[in-house]
Copies of this chain bind each other. A is one copy, B any other.
Amino acid sequence: QGTRDLPPAQAALRDRLLSAVVSCFKRHGAAAIDTPVLELRETLIGKYGEGTKLIYELQDQGGELLALRYDLTVPFARYLAMNKITNIKRYHIAKVYRRDNPAMTRGRYREFYQCDFDIAGQYDPMIPDAECLKIVHEILSDLQLGDFVIKVNDRRILNGVFAVCGVPESKFIPACITVDKLDKMPWEEVRSEMVGEKGLSPEAADRIGDYVQLHGGLDLIERLLQDPKLSQNKLAKEGLGDMKLLFEYLTLFGITGKISFDLSLARGLDYYTGVIFEAVLLQQENEPGEEPVSVGSVAGGGRYDGLVGMFDPKGRKVPCVGVSIGIERIFSILEQRLEASGKKLRTTETQVLVATPQKHLLAARLKLISELWDAGIKAEMLYKKDPKLLKQLQYCEDTGIPLAAIVGEQELADGVVKLRDVATRKEVRI
């Protein structure tokens, strides 16, 4: 349940998608690493907030207690701490596992790919953070998924908001989780969850509401820096200062047109400590004048400066910022689009079919195809002793093989091969 087989057509589409993502990561100088699918259970427990209950655990068959990785970020942090690596720029594309309720048509699975790019190291503020946003912008533009917006916020700003609204620190994370639902439910519902389930006072909830419904750009950052309450909060001030710097860098990158500083963005994971962001695709067919409607998150990430320290015996921190591309949702969009277009993706790369027009020529085919393979040419033949020529040409048309190399009795006698262009039916003897 919640997993799937990928048949050749889908596997070919996914390979294309993944290689677009990999080439962006490589363009930004990232190295690949790999970590096991299996992690010690204790490595994963307590890192994902409410997500912890979705971790797949292995049966105790003697030896270590194991679990399947839930994301690639925690294993990355574990890897850095174990190997005392203090700076690296890496990407990792691999499957992760969550015992969630699957929603397969929307691209939500229990086994799914994550495509992560992270920068670890102590650097000047917001330079790596800005690069992560540039990467999201490049990938979503390259893939031509339509209009999108990248929402940006900072955990420090959110915490500052909660503090100045009178929320006790112990309730910051529950409040965060509830605020994060503002993209899926109206403020009234979010407010009642805060008051009801999370036990905030109605006054605190109303004050939070005034902040978290704001979104904008540099102008909003400037306004909040002047906000009489927020500007008195140390964390919020730091966060807003960095947000301003981030927007300066994004202006130099020329991408602020797609960036929205959005105070409702909270993201569910416990480990974020600074900037957080999430890219959403916007509905295409809205009426003029209407606000574009979001159709779901396709990338997300943020800064997590404390996670590596949790795995280091001396608690030594390695600041990190990273982005994860939501490849499964993008895949299901591209899949639907391909289906709607009626186009068929080739599932193989075969350049030539080795064919014979008469019987008793299997030996000639085997000799020729072997020469082609040895010359690095992608070649196939039918696995029949005496296939009909029509069947062989039909196979080319069905699978998109552009050329047929035909050896008949005449060609053998003349020491030539007849090369046929399958689409035009033109033939040359070579």
Contact = CB atoms under 8 A, between A and B. Distances in A.
Contacts of A83: 5, 7
B8 A90 contact: yes
A182 to B, nearest CB: 31
A415 B61 CA distance: 67
A227 interface: no
A5 B384 CA distance: 45
Interface stretch (A31-39, A158-166, A234-242, A275-283): A31-39
A59 B60 CA distance: 8
A293 to B, nearest CB: 29
A320 to B, nearest CB: 12
B32 A8 contact: yes
A362 B134 CA distance: 16
A89 B349 CA distance: 13
A263 to B, nearest CB: 26
A97 B66 CA distance: 13
Residue of A35, A57, A58 with highest tally of chain B CB at under 10 A: A58
A138 interface: yes
Contact of A57 (B59, B249, B254, B378): B59
Interface string A373-385: 1101111100111
Given A61-B57, A124-B383, A124-B384, A37 B95 contact: yes
A56 interface: yes
A134 B370 contact: yes
Contact of A29 (B1, B123, B363, B379): B379
A111 interface: yes
A371 to B, nearest CB: 9
Interface of A: 1, 3-8, 11-12, 14-15, 26-38, 56-61, 63-64, 66, 68, 79, 82-83, 88-90, 95, 97, 99, 110-111, 119, 121, 123-124, 127-128, 130-131, 134, 138, 249, 252-254, 347-350, 362-363, 366-367, 370, 373-374, 376-380, 383-385
25 contacts: A1-B63, A1-B64, A3-B36, A5-B35, A5-B82, A6-B33, A8-B31, A26-B348, A26-B349, A26-B378, A27-B376, A27-B379, A28-B379, A29-B349, A32-B347, A37-B37, A38-B97, A56-B59, A56-B61, A57-B58, A58-B58, A89-B380, A124-B385, A134-B370, A138-B373
